A and B are shown apart, each in its own frame.
Chain A
Amino acid sequence: MAEPRPGFSLQDLEGGTYRFPTGRPSLVCFVKEDCQTCNLAAPVLEAFRRAFGGKVDVLLVGQTLEGNRVLQARHQLSAPILDDSKCEISFAWDFEIVPAAYWMDGDGVVRTQIEGFVRDEWKALEQRIAGDLGLAKADVDWDGLPAWRPGCGSKHLDPEIHDRLLANASGSPIRARRIEVASSDDVAEFMFDQGFSDGLPLVPPTPERVMRMLAGTSRGAQDLVAISPPNMGHATVEKIAINAVMAGCKPEYLPVVIAAVEAVCTDEFNIHGVNATTMGASPVIVVNGPIRHRIGMNMKLGALGAGNRANATIGRAVRLVIRNVGGARPGGTDRSTLGNPMKFTMCFAEWEEGSPWEPLHVERGFKAEDSVVTVFGMTSGPVQIVDQESREPDQVAGSIGLGLEAMFLPKLHRMNTDALLVVCPEHAKSLTSRGEYSKARLRTRIQQVTARPLREMVADEVSGAGLPLALAAQMDAEKLDTRFGKFASDKNIHIVVAGSEAGKFSAAFHGWVTGEMGSSVVSRKIECD
Chain B
Amino acid sequence: MTVTILDPTDERAPIERQITTRPAKITGVVGLLDIAKPRGNVLLDELERLLSSELPGVELRRYRKPTFTKPAPSDLRLKMKSECNYVVEALAD
Are B8 and A324 within 8 A (Cβ)?
yes
Interface membership of chain A positions 179-212, coded 1 if the CB is closer than 8 angstroms to chain B and 0 otherwise: 1111100010001011010000000111100100
Contact A187 to B5, CB < 8 A, known contacts A177-B15, A193-B17: yes
Q: Roughly how many angstroms separate A180 CA and B7 CA in the complex, as a whole number? A: 10
Whether, in the assembled complex, B11 has its beta carbon less than 8 Å from a beta carbon of chain A, the answer is yes
Q: Roughly how many angstroms separate A320 CA and B10 CA in the complex, as a whole number? A: 12
Are B8 and A231 within 8 A (Cβ)?
no
Q: How many residues in A have their beta carbons less than 8 Å from beta carbons of B? A: 32
Q: Which residue of A lies closest to B10 (CB)?
A: A233
Residues of A within 8 A of B (CB): 174, 176-183, 187, 191, 193-194, 196, 204-207, 210, 228, 231, 233-234, 239, 242-243, 246, 320, 324-327
User: Nearest Cβ distance between residue A351 and chain B, in whole angstroms?
Assistant: 33
Whether, in the assembled complex, B49 has its beta carbon less than 8 Å from a beta carbon of chain A, the answer is no
Of the candidates A182, A228, A231, A242, the one whose C-beta lies within 8 Å of that of B7 is: A242
Chain A residues with Cβ below 8 Å from B2 are 180-183
Q: Roughly how many angstroms separate A470 CA and B52 CA in the complex, as a whole number? A: 63
Are A179 and B10 within 8 A (Cβ)?
no
Chain A residues with Cβ below 8 Å from B17 are 193
Chain B residues with Cβ below 8 Å from A324 are 8-10
Are B3 and A325 within 8 A (Cβ)?
no
User: Nearest Cβ distance between residue A186 and chain B, in whole angstroms?
Assistant: 10
Are A206 and B6 within 8 A (Cβ)?
yes
Q: Roughly how many angstroms separate A191 CA and B6 CA in the complex, as a whole number? A: 11
Chain A residues with Cβ below 8 Å from B9 are 196, 233, 324-325, 327
User: Nearest Cβ distance between residue B8 and chain A, in whole angstroms?
Assistant: 4
Q: Roughly how many angstroms separate A233 CA and B12 CA in the complex, as a whole number? A: 9
Q: With contacts defined as CB atoms under 8 Å apart, how many contacts are there between chain A and chain B in the complex? A: 73
Residues of B within 8 A of A (CB): 1-12, 15, 17
Q: Roughly how many angstroms separate A180 CA and B9 CA in the complex, as a whole number? A: 15
Are A206 and B5 within 8 A (Cβ)?
yes
List 19 A-B pairs, Cβ < 8 Å.
Answer: A178-B4, A178-B7, A179-B7, A180-B2, A181-B3, A181-B5, A205-B6, A206-B5, A234-B10, A239-B10, A242-B7, A242-B8, A246-B8, A324-B9, A324-B10, A325-B9, A326-B10, A327-B10, A327-B12
User: Nearest Cβ distance between residue B12 and chain A, in whole angstroms?
Assistant: 7
Q: Which residue of A lies closest to B6 (CB)?
A: A176
Q: Roughly how many angstroms separate A228 CA and B10 CA in the complex, as a whole number? A: 10
Of the candidates B5, B8, B12, the one whose C-beta lies within 8 Å of that of A239 is: B8
Q: Roughly how many angstroms separate A486 CA and B7 CA in the complex, as a whole number? A: 46
Q: Roughly how many angstroms separate A327 CA and B6 CA in the complex, as a whole number? A: 17
Q: Which residue of A lies closest to B12 (CB)?
A: A231
Are B11 and A179 within 8 A (Cβ)?
no
User: Nearest Cβ distance between residue A148 and chain B, in whole angstroms?
Assistant: 42
Chain B residues with Cβ below 8 Å from A327 are 9-10, 12
Q: Roughly how many angstroms separate A194 CA and B3 CA in the complex, as a whole number? A: 15
Chain B residues with Cβ below 8 Å from A205 are 5-6, 8
Of the candidates B6, B10, B11, B12, the one whose C-beta lies within 8 Å of that of A207 is: B6
Q: Which residue of B lies closest to A321 (CB)?
A: B8
Q: Which residue of B lies closest to A202 (CB)?
A: B8
User: Nearest Cβ distance between residue A228 and chain B, in whole angstroms?
Assistant: 8
Q: Roughly how many angstroms separate A234 CA and B15 CA in the complex, as a whole number? A: 18
User: Nearest Cβ distance between residue B40 and chain A, in whole angstroms?
Assistant: 23
User: Nearest Cβ distance between residue A179 and chain B, in whole angstroms?
Assistant: 5
Chain A residues with Cβ below 8 Å from B10 are 228, 231, 233-234, 239, 324-327
